[in-house]
A and B are shown apart, each in its own frame.
Chain A
Amino acid sequence: MKDLTDDQKERSANLKGMGCSRKRVEDARFTQGKGNYVDDIKLPGMLHGDFVRSPYAHARIKSIDVSKAMALDGVVAVLTAADLAPLSLHWMPTLAGDKQMVLADGKVLFQGQEVAFVVAKNRFIAADAVELVEVDYEELPVIVDPFEALQSDVVLREDIADKKEGAHGPRKHHNHIFTWEVGQEAETNDVISNADVVATETVYYHRTHPCPLETCGSVASMDKVNGKLTVWGTFQAPHVVRTVASLLSGIEEHNIRVISPDIGGGFGNKVGVYPGYVCSIVASIVTGVPVKWIEDRMENLMSTSFARDYWMTGKIAATKEGKITGLHCHVTADHGAFDACADPTKFPAGFMNICTGSYDIPTAYLAVDGVYTNKAPGGVAYRCSFRVTEAVYFIERMIEVLAIELNMDAAELRRINFIKKEQFPYQSALGWEYDSGDYHTAWDKALKAVDYEGLRKEQADRIEAFKRGETRSLMGIGLSFFTEIVGAGPVKNCDILGMGMFDSCEIRIHPTGSAIARLGTISQGQGHATTFAQILASEIGLPADSITIEEGDTDTAPYGLGTYGSRSTPVAGAATAMAGRKIRAKAQMIAAYLLEVHDNDVEWDIDRFVVKGAPERFKTMKEIAYAAYNQAIPGVEPGLEAVSYYDPPNMTYPFGAYVCVMDIDVDTGVQTIRKFYALDDCGTRINPMIIEGQVHGGLTEALAVALGQEIAYDKMGNVKTGTFMDFFLPTAWEVPNYITDHTVTPSPHHPIGAKGVGESPHVGGVPCFSNAVNDAFRAFGLRHTHMPHDHWRIWQTANKLGLHG
C-alpha cells in the first residue's frame, strides 16, 4: 500500500472510519438517563402482568382457584393453561425442536415455573393478586442429577414418554433427549488404546446464568381497530420473534411489529422466547389494552434461561514427547425440564465440536447426551458462541491434565501441538474449517510479555518457601489458548427455526451527504451505532458522524437473525461493507458522468472519485450524493440506496492467549489476581477502544463464573442462588485491572477481515482463571478440581491435600 499524502491522511481522519477509537454516539443518552429500555415504556391504559410460579420442582397440579384474585379491586384477568389451550398457546415450540409449557399444563417440572398470569392495573395490585391465587399441588419425586435421571423410573416429561424419537434422533430412555455424535469413534478408541500416554478426566462446567443487569420484559399492544400488534421487548433477535409471534398467534407477519429498544445487556439471556412474552401478547389481545410484563431478579435467575451444566469426560492420547494423537469426549448435558437450548437447529449441542481447540489433533470423537431434569430450561450461550466456552474449558483443562501426566510444562505442551500458520485453512477432525490463525506468534508474544520463565521460577521459590513454613500463600499461573468459532453462520447448515442465519444492512444516502443504515442485528451495549458507522465511513467516504445506525424495529430494519454468538460484526458487519460497496459502485457511475469520463477512468480515493492521472479532477461523495437526487443521468435511476443480505461462506475463528497470575491464601481460600494479560486476535480491528472494553467485560464475566457464580439446586430442586446475595456478580472491589494486547490475523473470507470479539474474553478467560487455581496446587498433587473456585471450595481443596497441617 502506498503512503498517504498529508491531504489524504487528513481526509481519512475526518471520516473516523475503521481503526480509530471513535467515542460512542450512544453515550450521550445513557450518561444523561435518557436511554429507552423496555420498562421505560409507558402507554395509555397499560396493564401489568405478573406470574404465579411453582414453589415445587416437580408436582402435579390438582386445581387452580383464581376466584379470590379475580375479586381483588384492580385485577383484570388471571390466565391459566386452561385459558390458553383453546388458542393452542398453552405450549410453545422451543428453539431446540422441543416444546415447552407457557403455563403449567397439569404438572410443574421446575421450581419457578409459570403457573398463572395475573393482569392488573398496576404492578403492586398484580403482586397482591399473585398471592391470592390458590394452587393445589401434589408433590412428585424430584430429579436434579442428570445421571440419576437416566436411571430413574420417574417420568419427567409425560407428554412425550412414549416417543422413541426426538427432534435430534432416537431417545434411549424416557428422560433422555438426544445423542449427538461427531467424529470417528472406532479410530479414536484405537488411537487411545495404543497411545504412549492417555490422560483421563471428568470436567464439570457448572450451571450458571448470563444475568444481564436489566431483566427480561415486554410490552404488548394489540390495536384491534387496525389489527396491528406491536411488541416491545428485550429481544436479541427481534425479527425471529416477529416470525415466531406470527406462527403462534396466527396474526399475519405484516401486522406484527416487534421493537427491541435499548437493551440493558443480553449475554445470551435474551435470545429465547419466554412465557412472559407470550402471556403479555395474549393478555393484550384478550383485554384490548397494552400489557407490560417485567420479571424481577429472582424470576430471572430461576426461570429465564441458564447456561452450561455440562459433565464432560475426556480421554486425551499423546506420544511420550507430548504430541497429541487423539481426543475422546463424552458429555452428559443437563437441559432441565424442556430442551430450550438456543442453538442453530442442526447443532443440538451447539458448536461443542470445536473441542479440539487450537491443536492439531488428527483423530477425535465427541458424543453428547441431552437429559431432562427438574431444573429450569434454557442452555443459552452465555457470552459465547453456542457451547464454545464449554468446549474451550474442556480442552484447556485436558491439556493441563495431560501436562501433569507427561510431567511437562503446559505452555510447551500447547506450543508443540498448535495448528501451524501454514496449515490454515485447517480442517479439524470434528468437521470445522478454521479460516486463519497464527497461534505460535501470539503465544510467544504473550509468554514474553508476562516473563513466563521468571514467573515459573518465582512459583518454584514460593513452593519451597511454603514447604519451609515461611509463607502460607501459593502462586498459580493460569494459561489458556483458545480458538472461538463465531459468526453463525452459513445458511447451508445454520438456521434458527428454519430461518437461515444470514444478516443484513440497508443504506440510504440523503441528498446532503449524510446517511442512515439499518441492520438486522441489535446492540445490547456493544456500540453498534458507533462501529457500524465506522465500517460504512471507510467504505463510502462519508464521515461516521454523518451516518445514523438504526436497529431493532422490524417495520423498518431489513430481516436479520439478531445479535448473539459474536455474529454481528462477522455477518451484519459484512453485510454493511457489501451494501456500502454497492453504494460506491453506483457512485462511481454518477461521478464518471459528472466528470464526463468513462466509468473505468475514475478511481476511489478515501472520500471521492478522482480521474485517473488527474487528481485535481474529482467528485466527493457529498457531491455525488447530491447529484444522485438532482441530476437526470441517462441509464441511472435517481437516488442512492443499497441493501445487502450476507450469507457468510464460513464461520470466523478469533483466537487469543491469556495468562493469569494468582496468589492463593491456603488458610482462607482467598484468591487474589495479581496480573491478567489478555492477547486477542479478532482479525481487523474496527474500534480499539470498544474492543478493549469488550475484553474487560468478558474477562470479568469469566472471573465471575470461574470464581463463584453458579445456579445451585438442593435435592428438592430448590434454587439456592436466586438473589444477588447468593449469586456472585463481582463488584469493582473484586476485579483486577487487565492488560490487553493483540495480534491481527484477518479473516480471509470476510469483506473487511473482521472476526468478532465480544465473547472471546469470556471463552478464553474461564479456563485461564480455573487453570490458575488448579496450577497453584499442582505441586501438591492436584490434578483437577471443579469450578466455581470460591473461597470455600479452594479451602476444601487445600484441606484435602493436607495443607492445613
Chain B
Amino acid sequence: MSNKMHINLTVNGEAHEFLAEPRELLIYTLRERLNITGPHIGCETSHCGACTVTLNGKSVKACTMFIAQANGADVTTIEGIGSPDNLHVLQKSFREHHGLQCGYCTPGMITRASKLLEENPNPTEEEVRFGMAGNMCRCTGYQNIVKSILAAASEMNAAKEAAE
C-alpha cells in the first residue's frame, strides 16, 4: 500500500483533517470522503468542468488535482456559494433565465461563473463566452447560460451601486 499523507483541507469554511493516499483525486475527496456531491465528474481529463471548484481563489478542475497538491488549501464548492435562505444571485439568475436543464454541469458552471464575475464584474457577452469555455454543457446550447450570467452581473453591479 502506498504511504498515506496527513492532509488538512478547508471546504466551505469547515476544516477537515485526515490521512489519504497522495494519489487520491480532489473530486473523490470531496464527493466520497466528505460527501460533498455538488461538483460532478464528467470526463476526468480537465475538459468538461463539471467538477469545478474554487481553490485558494482560483477556478480549479477537481478531477485532475491530487489531494497531495491540495493539502492546506481553502476550497469552495457550489454548496458554499449560497444557501436555501440566501441564494447567490447566479443561482437565482440561472433559474430565472432557464440556464440549466439536466443540472449536471450546473454546480461547476455556477461556481466558475461566480469566480468569473469576481475577476471581471462587468463582462461583455464575448468575455463571458471566453471565460466560461472551460465548462461544457450538453443541454442548453449555452445561450441561456450566457444570459443568466450577464443578468446576474447587471444585478450585482446595480446592488453595488445602490450600496455605495
| A residues lining the B interface (CB < 8 Å) | 23-24, 26-35, 37, 39-40, 42, 73, 122-124, 211-215, 262-265, 267, 294, 296-297, 524-527, 689-690, 692-693, 696-701, 723-725, 729, 731-733, 735, 737-738
> Which residues of B22-70 are within 8 A (CB) of A?
23-24, 28, 31-32, 35-45, 47-48, 50
The answer to whether B43 touches A723 (Cβ under 8 A) is yes
The answer to whether A33 touches B38 (Cβ under 8 A) is yes
* Residues of A with C-beta under 8 A to B42: 213-215, 264, 297
* Residues of A with C-beta under 8 A to B41: 39, 294
B137 at the A interface (CB under 8 A): yes
A29 to chain B, nearest CB (A): 7
Q: A690 with B103: in contact, given A729-B138, A732-B132 (CB under 8 Å)?
A: no
Give the residue name and chain of the A residue nearest to B140 (CB).
A697
Q: How far is the CA of A296 from the CA of B107 in the complex (A)?
A: 19
The answer to whether B98 touches A24 (Cβ under 8 A) is yes
B118 at the A interface (CB under 8 A): no
A680 to chain B, nearest CB (A): 14
The answer to whether B141 touches A33 (Cβ under 8 A) is no
Q: Which of B43, B78, B95, B106 has the most CB of A within 10 A?
A: B43
Could you pull out 25 A-B pairs where Cβ atoms are within 8 angstroms?
A: A24-B98, A28-B84, A31-B78, A32-B78, A37-B40, A37-B104, A39-B41, A40-B31, A211-B138, A213-B40, A213-B102, A214-B102, A214-B104, A262-B102, A267-B138, A525-B102, A692-B98, A696-B141, A696-B142, A697-B138, A697-B140, A699-B141, A724-B136, A731-B132, A732-B133
* Residues of A with C-beta under 8 A to B115: none
B153 at the A interface (CB under 8 A): no
Q: How far is the CA of A176 from the CA of B103 in the complex (A)?
A: 42
Q: How far is the CA of A733 from the CA of B78 in the complex (A)?
A: 23
The answer to whether B102 touches A31 (Cβ under 8 A) is no
The answer to whether A297 touches B138 (Cβ under 8 A) is no
* Residues of A with C-beta under 8 A to B32: 42, 122
The answer to whether B44 touches A297 (Cβ under 8 A) is yes
The answer to whether A697 touches B98 (Cβ under 8 A) is no
Interface contacts beyond A214-B42, A693-B101: sample of 5 additional A-B pairs, CB < 8 Å, sorted by A: A40-B31, A526-B101, A700-B142, A732-B145, A735-B143
* Residues of B with C-beta under 8 A to A28: 84, 95
* Residues of A with C-beta under 8 A to B83: 32
Q: How far is the CA of A206 from the CA of B47 in the complex (A)?
A: 24
The answer to whether B146 touches A33 (Cβ under 8 A) is no
Q: How far is the CA of A267 from the CA of B137 in the complex (A)?
A: 13
Give the residue name and chain of the B residue nearest to A214 (CB).
B104
The answer to whether A27 touches B143 (Cβ under 8 A) is no
B25 to chain A, nearest CB (A): 9
Q: A26 with B103: in contact, given A73-B1, A696-B144 (CB under 8 Å)?
A: yes
Of the candidates B24, B40, B133, the one whose C-beta lies within 8 Å of that of A733 is: B133
The 8 A CB mask of B123-150 against A (1 = contact, 0 = none) is 0000011101111111111111110000
Q: A738 with B98: in contact, given A32-B91, A39-B41 (CB under 8 Å)?
A: no
Main secondary structure of the interface of A (DSSP, over half): loop
The answer to whether B95 touches A696 (Cβ under 8 A) is no
**Total CB contacts across the A-B interface at under 8 A:** 175
The 8 A CB mask of B105-131 against A (1 = contact, 0 = none) is 111001000000000000000001110
Q: A30 with B45: in contact, given A24-B98, A729-B136 (CB under 8 Å)?
A: no
Q: How far is the CA of A725 from the CA of B41 in the complex (A)?
A: 16
B155 at the A interface (CB under 8 A): no
The 8 A CB mask of B71-88 against A (1 = contact, 0 = none) is 000000111001110010
The answer to whether B47 touches A723 (Cβ under 8 A) is yes
The answer to whether A212 touches B102 (Cβ under 8 A) is yes
B96 at the A interface (CB under 8 A): yes
Q: How far is the CA of A212 from the CA of B140 in the complex (A)?
A: 12
Q: How far is the CA of A699 from the CA of B107 in the complex (A)?
A: 23
B50 to chain A, nearest CB (A): 6
Give the residue name and chain of the A residue nearest to B93 (CB).
A31
The answer to whether B104 touches A697 (Cβ under 8 A) is no
Give the residue name and chain of the A residue nearest to B144 (CB).
A693
B2 to chain A, nearest CB (A): 10
Q: Which of B96, B104, B134, B138 has the most CB of A within 10 A?
A: B138
* Residues of B with C-beta under 8 A to A35: 103-104, 106
B30 to chain A, nearest CB (A): 11
B18 to chain A, nearest CB (A): 15
Give the residue name and chain of the A residue nearest to B44 (CB).
A296
The answer to whether A725 touches B47 (Cβ under 8 A) is yes
Q: Which of A122, A214, A526, A731 has the most CB of B within 10 A?
A: A731
The answer to whether A34 touches B38 (Cβ under 8 A) is yes
Q: A696 with B140: in contact, given A33-B79, A214-B42 (CB under 8 Å)?
A: yes
Q: How far is the CA of A725 from the CA of B77 in the complex (A)?
A: 26
The answer to whether B47 touches A724 (Cβ under 8 A) is yes
A201 to chain B, nearest CB (A): 30
B100 at the A interface (CB under 8 A): yes
* Residues of A with C-beta under 8 A to B24: 124
The answer to whether B138 touches A31 (Cβ under 8 A) is no
* Residues of B with C-beta under 8 A to A723: 43, 45, 47
Q: How far is the CA of A263 from the CA of B139 in the complex (A)?
A: 12
Smallest CB-CB A-B distances: 10 pairs? A33-B38, A30-B103, A525-B102, A264-B104, A696-B141, A700-B141, A525-B101, A724-B47, A33-B78, A27-B95
Of the candidates A73, A263, A738, the one whose C-beta lies within 8 Å of that of B102 is: A263
Of the candidates B38, B44, B107, B136, the one whose C-beta lies within 8 Å of that of A731 is: B136
The answer to whether B103 touches A262 (Cβ under 8 A) is yes
* Residues of A with C-beta under 8 A to B132: 731-732
The answer to whether A213 touches B101 (Cβ under 8 A) is no
The answer to whether A725 touches B45 (Cβ under 8 A) is yes
The 8 A CB mask of B1-27 against A (1 = contact, 0 = none) is 100000000000000000001011000
* Residues of B with C-beta under 8 A to A26: 103
The answer to whether B106 touches A214 (Cβ under 8 A) is no
* Residues of B with C-beta under 8 A to A264: 40, 42, 102-104
The answer to whether B143 touches A31 (Cβ under 8 A) is no
B116 to chain A, nearest CB (A): 11
Q: How far is the CA of A689 from the CA of B31 in the complex (A)?
A: 33
A281 to chain B, nearest CB (A): 22
Of the candidates A30, A42, A213, the one whose C-beta lies within 8 Å of that of B138 is: A213
Give the residue name and chain of the A residue nearest to B1 (CB).
A73
A34 to chain B, nearest CB (A): 7
Give the residue name and chain of the A residue nearest to B143 (CB).
A696
* Residues of A with C-beta under 8 A to B1: 73
The answer to whether A31 touches B146 (Cβ under 8 A) is no
The answer to whether B102 touches A733 (Cβ under 8 A) is no
Q: How far is the CA of A588 from the CA of B133 in the complex (A)?
A: 55
The answer to whether B133 touches A31 (Cβ under 8 A) is no
Q: How far is the CA of A689 from the CA of B44 in the complex (A)?
A: 33
Of the candidates A27, A124, A526, the one whose C-beta lies within 8 Å of that of B23 is: A124
A624 to chain B, nearest CB (A): 33
The answer to whether B141 touches A738 (Cβ under 8 A) is yes
Q: How far is the CA of A213 from the CA of B135 in the complex (A)?
A: 11
Q: How far is the CA of A264 from the CA of B139 in the complex (A)?
A: 9
B106 to chain A, nearest CB (A): 5
The answer to whether A29 touches B128 (Cβ under 8 A) is no
The answer to whether B133 touches A689 (Cβ under 8 A) is no
* Residues of B with C-beta under 8 A to A732: 128-130, 132-133, 135, 137, 142, 145-146
B64 to chain A, nearest CB (A): 12
Q: How far is the CA of A723 from the CA of B140 in the complex (A)?
A: 21
Give the residue name and chain of the A residue nearest to B110 (CB).
A31
Give the residue name and chain of the A residue nearest to B101 (CB).
A525
B47 to chain A, nearest CB (A): 4
* Residues of B with C-beta under 8 A to A738: 141, 143
Give the residue name and chain of the B residue nearest to A527 (CB).
B101
* Residues of A with C-beta under 8 A to B77: 33
A33 to chain B, nearest CB (A): 2
